[in-house]
Amino acid sequence: MKISHIKTKWVLAVLLLAGFVSCKKYNYTGFTAGTGKPTITLVHTLYKADSLPLNVPDSTIDTLGNLTVTLPQVQGVNSPQDSVTTSGNGGTYYVILGTNLGSTTAVTFNDTAAFVNRAWLTDTTIIVAIPSNAWTPNEPNTLTVTTLHGSVTKTFHVNQPSPDITGLNPSAAPSGDTITINGSLFYNVDSVTFVSSTTDVQAQVISYTPTQIQVVVPPGIVEAFVHVYTPGGAAVSPSAFGFKYVIFKDGLTTGWGGNGGGYSGYNSTISYTDNSNPPPGGTEDIMVTISGSYGALQIGYGGSTPVSVSTLNLLSVRFAIAGGSTIPAGGQPAQVVINGDYTNNYQFTIPASTGGYQTFIVPLSALGNPATITEFVIQMQGSGGSGAIFYVDNLGFI
């Protein structure tokens, strides 16, 4: 059976080329590739408004079943809007102008191969995107075009990509503490800032690697997004750093524990201005001395504005705790309770004095999912514990 002449339009090519519509003039009469050594005259940015007409490749199949593809050839003509450049960004399209480019077999940026679409190739132009991974810290700054008749190299700088932040460790800490910002492309860091609706404070950068930055938390930070700036651009942390709501951080928040409202203590003596045990940040922590059975650090709220979990989007309670000299080597069992809901408690162990401060993050879902916060308790387990001492700092909700 004879196969008749078939002429088809390539839908995929239409989709690829449809994004480029322009007032430029193009010659679709075809070309013969030059046999001389290639040259590069200049590189210019391919505008979003630039484009190829929607003529697409044709294909024919003869009576013997042989397939022939005819590619429309693009003859670019510069217009005043062209932007000549000696540098570019990964993932962005550029037009390379020169001579004897028709037989191009490879285009590389910093020795990284770019995809060459022959439908976007003429003897005087190449349309190509810089590979997203073409930038390196010590790039050779080269653009190389290789044809069947030789190669040419031009100085061309690939711009550093924007950094990316994947997380913060820890996710909350007091001023003066050092935290680690995790991510990628942290090269030549210019600055790190903590930004909120009321705060824009630059942090002290201690050190950085391509994947981690260590900074000191600036004073006055309650909750803020972390911004990292490099020559490649800026990145913002995916979630906010710090506490969404603070009960104690170098002092009680007004309305808690008798500070302008509320109450504190149950079979215990509490000091909110202790500095006998070096706190994890700041100058003061809470010292709790248990004086009777089931003694506790109990802090009640008496402020006029309810602490709403949904309004503040509170997910977990966070606190740092250290044991005093009276805590046994194996630690002391204790529990966390919110709003007097002792049925939904979180069991943990207060570390021994040699263990230093440890940070605990307890989901509110494990504490009865309260709608508002009216009381926080750390209670010694059982009837023992009289005379035990422990320290608490950086208490709040995240």
Query: If one looks up domain 11-158 in CATH, what number appears?
Result: 2.60.40.10
Element (H, E) at 326: none
Cα-based distances in Å from 136 to 90, 96, 140: 11, 22, 9
CATH superfamily of 245-397: Galactose-binding lectin (2.60.120.430)
> Residue 394's closest CA among 298, 240, 313, 281?
281
- List pLDDT tens digits, range 25-57: 333 345 678 889 999 999 998 864 444 433 444
pLDDT at 88 over 70: yes
- 280 touches 174 (CB < 8 A): yes
Going by C-beta distance under 8 Å and a sequence separation of 6 or more, which residues neighbour residue 295?
A: 266, 267, 268, 288, 379, 380, 385, 386, 388
- 361 touches 315 (CB < 8 A): no
Looking at the chain, the domain(s) classified CATH 2.60.40.10 span 11-158, 164-241
CATH superfamily of 164-241: Immunoglobulins (2.60.40.10)
- 300 touches 257 (CB < 8 A): yes
- Confidence (pLDDT) at 175: 78
Looking at the chain, the domain(s) classified CATH 2.60.120.430 span 245-397
> Residue 70's closest CA among 29, 33, 27, 103?
29
> Residue 299's closest CA among 286, 312, 284?
286
- List pLDDT tens digits, range 219-260: 878 889 999 999 999 999 998 898 889 999 888 999 999 999
Cα-based distances in Å from 126 to 22, 118, 146: 17, 9, 12
What is this structure's pTM?
A: 0.62
- Confidence (pLDDT) at 383: 53
358: its two tokens? 């440890």
